[in-house]
Chain A
Amino acid sequence: MIELQGLEKRYGDSFAVRDLNLVFAEGELTALLGPSGCGKTTTLRMINRLIEPTGGRVLLRGQDTHTLKPETLRRGIGYVIQQIGLFPHLNVAQNVATVPDLLGRPARDTERRVDELLDLVGLSPAEYRFKKPAELSGGQAQRVGVARALAADPPVLLMDEPFGALDPLARDKLQDAFRDIQRRLKKTVIMVTHDIDEALRLADRIALMNAGELAQFGTPDDLIHRPASDFVRQFLGEDAALRQLAGRRAADFAHPGDPAGLPTVDAQLDARSALGIMLREGADALAVTQAGESIGILRWSDLQTIPMQPPISIRDEVT
């Protein structure tokens, strides 16, 4: 879907981004991960040409973005900027409606869409529609920023630390909600973050950057179990595997099997806690239950590989 070929940005004598080659697959969420100042924002902004590269090119569905008018390109790509950047003179609804307006969508549809999106990011439309950005908390503003990027239903979303200003609880909720939206709508998302947990939790693939260059590109599993360098290992930390489990539900790992005599865990419990229960109980398998009924069993060995999609479909309670 989006392909970076030898992408480079140079400021004076120093490189902000250097020889970056990456393919972001359609419908996947890729995290751009790395320490502060490693060039994540620069990379993201070169994709929608807010920054013009000094070398290399960006292909969008095989087409060089350089052949497109920047405005046209940007209107088809949702963008959540790091500083939120709501328009202070417009209210929440008007902020969210900006891109549909630019695209000339009918006002009535847009109005409905605005309410839908506000609901989606957990802000009650009735209460927040007419508030001005100055009346919002940092986290609320950030959610409006996410809604605004989604408003025109773009197939591609670029997000620069979209959940940075939220408290851990709200962040977890919004992250879950967002992952569901993304899975359901099959958006291609590139999300900048320096939060490892966030990347492990949300991303299908992670591009780990260091000092402007790509350190490793792969699934969270690849990075954890097959780190390409010491930097990757150190950046993720020795407990990366555990942190990865913390971001998944026990149900994601469950397989059909006989639950008889096994300690039970709830399907919504995170996998790390499930592992803790195995250690405590001295068991090497657990029965996974949902609403009292067994939906499968979870073995010790199942936890060693993270499934991309849950093998067993479960009823979704988090939205």
Chain B
Amino acid sequence: MTSSSLTAARTGRRRWPWGVLLWPSLLLLCLIPGVLPRLLAPLNLGELTAFDPPLWRLTLTHLGLVALATGVVLGLGVPLAVAVTRPGRVALRQLAETLVGLGQTVPTFAILALAVPALGFGWKPTLLGLIVYGLVPVVSNGIAGLQSVDTSALDAARGMGMTGRQRLLRVELPLALPVLLAGVRTSTVYNVGTATVGAALGAGGLGEPIINGLSQQNTALVLVGAVLSALLALSLDAVLGLFAPRT
């Protein structure tokens, strides 16, 4: 495409958004052994013994689960949204929208728990739950974005002799991209929260201190898990925000 040469000029260089680094650096700070217990000690909420596995391992497990789920969600959700928005597939689109609505309504915990009989304990049912739950915003935003593409632009593309594939890649997807990316962002950020529930299924991650804390009535432990997962969510939100086109 000539586009490369045509876009090169004018856009100028974007200033590096330093603000994005705030949440990730806070997260890293909290992960240094001893920092969080010391910060929480004055609140006098409960004993914090040494963590086993260490907090950074829990965070990495958590992040890994969410990232894997987001990858699968992208691989499944985008083609799905594309497939059901082709002309002559209104019924399939309605089905997809209904399923997405159901996914939004059914409690997360129920989805995760229902995956256990099928996949056993551990990270597998959690991943399945995250995928199912993560698909909801990606598919619904994907459909909404593709549906909102200006029909006259599509008509012009057809009139110029673009094939269906070219129309999709050159017109529809670029135009749907902002909405789609917003969906991916929502999906990822919510899944950080959903993944904490996975600890109840033995998936590990940052839900572990929360669940342990709740069952041992150790609020400090709950706070550790909550603070770290909130920081992880905010960090991912900030990083993904970089991809959002500016308006």
Contacts and interface: CB of A to CB of B under 8 A. Distances in A.
Interface residues of A, number: 38
A110 interface: yes
A250 B46 CA distance: 99
A140 B150 CA distance: 19
A65 interface: no
A73 B161 contact: yes
Contacts of B163: 71
Given A89-B175, A91-B7, A110 B161 contact: no
Of B6, B7, B170, B171, most A-chain CB atoms within 10 Å? B6
A111 B3 CA distance: 10
Interface in B133-172: 150, 152-163, 166, 170-171
Contact of A107 (B5, B153, B155): B5
A85 B150 CA distance: 8
A50 interface: yes
Interface string B1-33: 111111101100000000000000000000000
B174 interface: yes
A98 B155 contact: no
The secondary structure that dominates the B interface is helix
Contact of A91 (B6, B158, B166): B6
Nearest to A160: B159
B174 A50 contact: no
B150 A71 contact: no
A50 B150 CA distance: 17
Interface of B: 1-7, 9-10, 150, 152-163, 166, 170-171, 174-175
Q: Which 7 A-B pairs have the closest CB atoms?
A: A85-B156, A74-B161, A75-B161, A83-B152, A85-B152, A107-B2, A79-B159
19 contacts: A45-B159, A50-B155, A50-B159, A74-B159, A75-B161, A76-B161, A77-B161, A79-B159, A81-B156, A85-B154, A87-B153, A87-B170, A90-B3, A94-B7, A97-B3, A98-B170, A102-B160, A102-B162, A111-B6
